[in-house]
């Protein structure tokens, strides 16, 4: 039987709906896309008795299922055997791709390589999952690839670094770098679920723990003064162990950071409103992070940006002298840089120009209005940037000098 084809020319449609023939034909199309995903903290994710990960991968332990696992190279070395043992215990067949946990992985070639993996294994469009296991780099590039493959297929995130667990792994942003630009290409694509097991933090090195503390200090400064107080009281004892054990401070620091970030992200997930408090520390850093040689880690660049913003707020009277000092002292105590040679006055101005483009024509710069809240400004001047740089540089030298004195005692 031939299937009648309707030639939907405007006249036939208007005739079909018996509408008066409008001068120009147009239709308004509106649709809502519900986004509903879970971020769950669970310990012992790789214990074969823990079904959480398996269920997220679509497995029930009886029928065989399949997924594409994309895992960070350090995680492969440290946890690869346990991961594969878990998958076989839960009858999850897998194609396995190891990628370097390195900023250079956030490139289009990596994404296209993953597309080839998905095509060659013939992964089903919905029933079979893509699983990203690693730090923010792996999560970002796998998330973007999953959002592009067949116009979007489901993926699971297992963040294994501190930045991954409190930031990169819990929102909907994915992306890759292009040239000197951070995250210049990317999508908004929610995972089906993000599984946070603090146990992975036990093997993260100190520098990368500090790197993650930058994003946690960001949340404390713009939103959560109690988190700031907790960090101030415990920063000396924060290390991979206390975070992995979720000890008295470790657990609360992780959960408060995650809750604070999700509370900021959920109402404005697609960034319709470009005044975003979580942009704090991300005005200058996106343009300068990749310029540094040797490269700055993401959180380190965010810290230098935040130090400049603390000085800008102090100089405008938005932050008291004492609170500005508390903020810079905490960043210092967290092993984060306050200054970097690539953050020059001239490059700050150029970075701000790019931020204005990213924020649709206005600076929309978040500044702390007291510790734990933020306001947005649109009129920061070059003189203010210069003054802020000088203030932080002087503060940094003073801190360095006192460290020297301390060690000489
Ligand atoms: N999408 C977002 O919303 C978002 C938010 C914040 C940051 N980011 C992005 O995240 C990236 C930074 O993430 P990152 O700091 O996790 O970097 P990363 O992914 O490079 O990981 C850092 C290092 O830790 C290693 N590693 C990973 N897990 C480990 C573990 N459990 N034990 C030991 N070593 C481990 C990696 O191999 C790597 O050498 C940046 O590209 C940044 O732009 C994205
Ligand atoms: O680094 C990121 C996201 O990439 C987060 O830590 C951060 O809070 C915000 O999302 C910033 O808005 C930066 O986002 P973007 O430059 O990637 O758009
Ligand atoms: Zn960030």
Query: Residue 183: is its pLDDT beyond 80?
Result: yes
pLDDT per position as a tens digit, 94-119: 999 999 999 999 999 999 999 999 99
The residue among 60 and 86 whose pLDDT is bigger is 86
156 and 240 in a single domain? The answer is no
**pLDDT band at residue 396 under the 50/70/90 scheme:** confident
- Catalytic one of 173, 182, 218, 223: 173
pLDDT per position as a tens digit, 295-350: 899 999 999 999 999 999 999 999 999 999 999 999 999 999 999 999 999 999 99
Residue 229 lies in a domain: yes
Q: Identify whether 173 is a catalytic site residue.
A: yes
Separation of alpha carbons 165 and 177, rounded Å:
21
Residue 2 lies in a domain: no
**pLDDT band at residue 3 under the 50/70/90 scheme:** very low
Query: Residue 144: is its pLDDT beyond 50?
Result: yes
CB-based burial, 273-284: b 16+ in 10 Å, e otherwise: eebbbbbbbbbb
pLDDT value of residue 6:
46
In the reported structure, the alpha carbon of residue 406 is separated from the centroid of ligand 2 by a whole-number distance in angstroms of 37
Percent of the chain scored above 90 by pLDDT? 86
The residue among 293 and 265 whose pLDDT is bigger is 265
**pLDDT band at residue 402 under the 50/70/90 scheme:** low
Work out the average pLDDT over 254-269: 98
Please state, in angstroms and as integers, the Cα–Cα distance from residue 53 to each residue in 4, 12, 95, following that order: 48, 53, 17
pLDDT per position as a tens digit, 162-178: 999 999 999 999 999 99
Pocket of ligand 2 (CB under 6 A): 167, 173, 183, 215, 276, 278-279, 282, 286
190 and 257 in a single domain? The answer is no
pLDDT value of residue 118:
98
If one residue of 73, 74, 169, 218 were mutated to test the ligand 1 pocket, choosing by the most ligand atoms within 8 A of its CB, it would be 74
Average pLDDT, the chain: 93
Query: Residue 129: is its pLDDT beyond 70?
Result: yes
| CA-CA-CA-CA torsion sign (86, 92, 96, 99) | negative
pLDDT value of residue 404:
61
Give the CATH number of the domain where residue 147 resides: 3.40.50.1970
Residue 162 lies in a domain: yes
What was the ipTM of the complex prediction?
0.98
In the reported structure, the alpha carbon of residue 206 is separated from the centroid of ligand 1 by a whole-number distance in angstroms of 13
pLDDT value of residue 5:
47
Residue 91 lies in a domain: yes
Give the CATH number of the domain where residue 369 resides: 1.20.1090.10
Give the residue numbers spanning the domain of 384: 205-264+275-407
| CA-CA-CA-CA torsion sign (75, 256, 50, 158) | negative
Residue 32 lies in a domain: no
136 and 176 in a single domain? The answer is yes
Separation of alpha carbons 138 and 136, rounded Å:
6
pLDDT per position as a tens digit, 196-231: 999 999 999 999 999 999 999 999 999 999 999 999
Percent of the chain scored above 70 by pLDDT? 92
Q: Which candidate, 156, 127, 124, places its Cα nearest to that of 52?
A: 156
Q: Which candidate, 398, 386, 202, places its Cα nearest to that of 311?
A: 386
Last residue of a domain, one of 202, 226, 245: 202
Work out the average pLDDT over 234-259: 94
Q: pTM of whole model > 0.90? A: yes
Residue 25 lies in a domain: no
Residue 5 lies in a domain: no
Ligand 1 closest atom vs CA 164? 16
192 and 280 in a single domain? The answer is no
pLDDT value of residue 62:
86
133 and 260 in a single domain? The answer is no
Last residue of a domain, one of 186, 202, 218: 202
- Residue 204 CB–ligand 1 contact under 6 Å: yes
If one residue of 137, 165, 301 were mutated to test the ligand 1 pocket, choosing by the most ligand atoms within 8 A of its CB, it would be 137
375 and 315 in a single domain? The answer is yes
Query: Residue 8: is its pLDDT beyond 50?
Result: no
**pLDDT band at residue 398 under the 50/70/90 scheme:** confident
CB 189, CB 149: distance < 8 Å: no
């Amino acid at each position: 039987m031939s299937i009648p084809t309707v030639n939907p020319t405007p006249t036939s449609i208007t005739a079909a709906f018996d509408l008066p023939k409008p001068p120009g034909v147009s239709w308004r199309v509106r649709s809502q896309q519900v986004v509903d995903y879970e971020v769950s903290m669970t310990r012992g994710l790789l214990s074969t008795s823990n079904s959480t990960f398996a269920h997220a991968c679509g497995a029930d332990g009886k029928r065989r299922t399949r997924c594409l696992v994309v895992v960070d190279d350090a995680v492969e070395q440290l946890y690869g055997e346990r991961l594969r043992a878990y998958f076989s215990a839960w009858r999850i067949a897998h194609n396995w791709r190891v990628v370097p946990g390195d900023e250079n992985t956030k490139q289009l070639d990596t994404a296209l390589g993953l597309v080839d993996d998905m095509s060659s294994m013939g992964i089903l469009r919905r029933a079979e999952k893509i699983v990203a296991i690693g730090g923010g780099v792996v999560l970002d590039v796998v998330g973007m690839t999953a959002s592009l493959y067949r116009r979007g297929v489901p993926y699971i995130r297992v963040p294994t670094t501190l930045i991954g667990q409190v930031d990169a792994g819990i929102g909907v942003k994915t992306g890759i770098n292009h040239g000197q630009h951070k995250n210049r290409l990317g999508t908004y694509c929610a995972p089906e679920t993000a599984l946070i097991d603090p146990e992975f933090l036990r093997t993260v090195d100190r520098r990368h723990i500090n790197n993650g503390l930058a994003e946690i200090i960001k949340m404390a400064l713009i939103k959560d003064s109690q988190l700031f107080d907790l960090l101030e009281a415990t920063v000396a004892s924060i290390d991979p162990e206390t975070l992995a054990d979720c000890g008295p401070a470790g657990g609360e620091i992780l959960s408060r950071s995650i809750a604070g970030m999700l509370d900021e992200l959920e109402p404005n997930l697609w960034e319709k409103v470009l005044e975003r408090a979580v942009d704090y520390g991300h005005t200058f850093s996106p343009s300068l992070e990749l310029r540094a040689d040797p490269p700055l880690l993401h959180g380190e660049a965010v810290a230098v940006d935040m130090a400049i913003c603390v000085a800008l707020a102090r100089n405008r009277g938005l932050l008291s002298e004492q609170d500005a000092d508390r903020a810079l002292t905490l960043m210092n105590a967290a092993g984060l840089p306050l200054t970097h040679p690539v953050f020059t006055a001239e490059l700050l101005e150029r970075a701000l120009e790019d931020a204005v483009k990213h924020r649709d024509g206005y600076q929309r710069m978040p500044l702390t209005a007291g510790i734990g809240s933020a306001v947005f400004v649109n009129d920061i001047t070059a003189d203010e940037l210069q003054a802020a740089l000088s203030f932080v540089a002087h503060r940094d030298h003073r801190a360095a000098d006192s460290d020297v004195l301390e060690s000489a005692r």
